[in-house]
Structure 1
């Protein structure tokens, strides 16, 4: 049940990010794009992101953790690319800066909604 609540929180966070960030575009009425993007992003966050953080541990320490934002943006862009190219769904991230801002918004909204759904 927690997985469904966290997936739904990520689903809502992606909707907020697409609404706020001009460089993120989703096909009209494409609920499936949000759903698949949430699933792909959660899988990448669970598998690839920890490996990237371990591999770049020194850079993360030197930048006082700011490089983690770059890694999150890269994973966000990769998830978007997988959603568009493998599943033919329209969740497009235009550039790195849109991915960076989108990943920050998704992190904040996802944390708030997850806490409200899982703990509440």
Structure 2
């Protein structure tokens, strides 16, 4: 359970950094506490998308991963971020990603920050 919470908080921080750095990734409305709650909910959606949809997409696009020596990961991450944006809209969360190239850059930022947060918050007791 603790590992799940750490990953969710890491994803929320990574999403917040992407919102802060990129103008075309927006989190609108509400107070600071409301935005923090929205970020946590979007992080949960993002985690579910990455846990359920991403493995299927990676398996189906395996030849492209091999052909591009792994660079296709950027496209898959962008698609997962766009799917999260769409699901957030369906769930009436105020998180939006505008455009594919913004999603590519946002996916890269989220991957780097999430990795760094997981390293810093990792529990050595596994």
Match of 1:92 among 68, 90, 96: 96
Find the counterpart in structure 2 of residue 101 from structure 1.
Answer: 105
After the TM superposition, list the runs of 4 or more consecutive aligned residues in structure 1 that deviate by more than 4 angstroms: none
Q: Residue 67 of structure 1: CA displacement?
A: 1.0
Find the counterpart in structure 1 of residue 14 from structure 2.
Answer: 13
Query: Matched residues in 1 for 2:102 and 2:40: separation?
Result: 20
Please tell me whether residue 39 in structure 1 is matched to residue 40 in structure 2. Answer: no
Query: Matched residues in 2 for 1:95 and 1:110: separation?
Result: 22
CA RMSD of aligned residues (A): 1.2
Q: In structure 2, the residue corresponding to 1:88 is in which secondary structure? A: coil
Please tell me whether residue 64 in structure 1 is matched to residue 64 in structure 2. Answer: no
Query: Matched residues in 2 for 1:53 and 1:43: separation?
Result: 15
Query: Matched residues in 2 for 1:88 and 1:6: separation?
Result: 23
> Which runs of 5 or more structure 1 residues have no equivalent in the other structure?
none
Q: In structure 2, the residue corresponding to 1:89 is in which secondary structure? A: coil
Q: Residue 33 of structure 1: CA displacement?
A: 2.3
Matched residue count: 119
> Which runs of 5 or more structure 2 residues have no equivalent in the other structure?
none
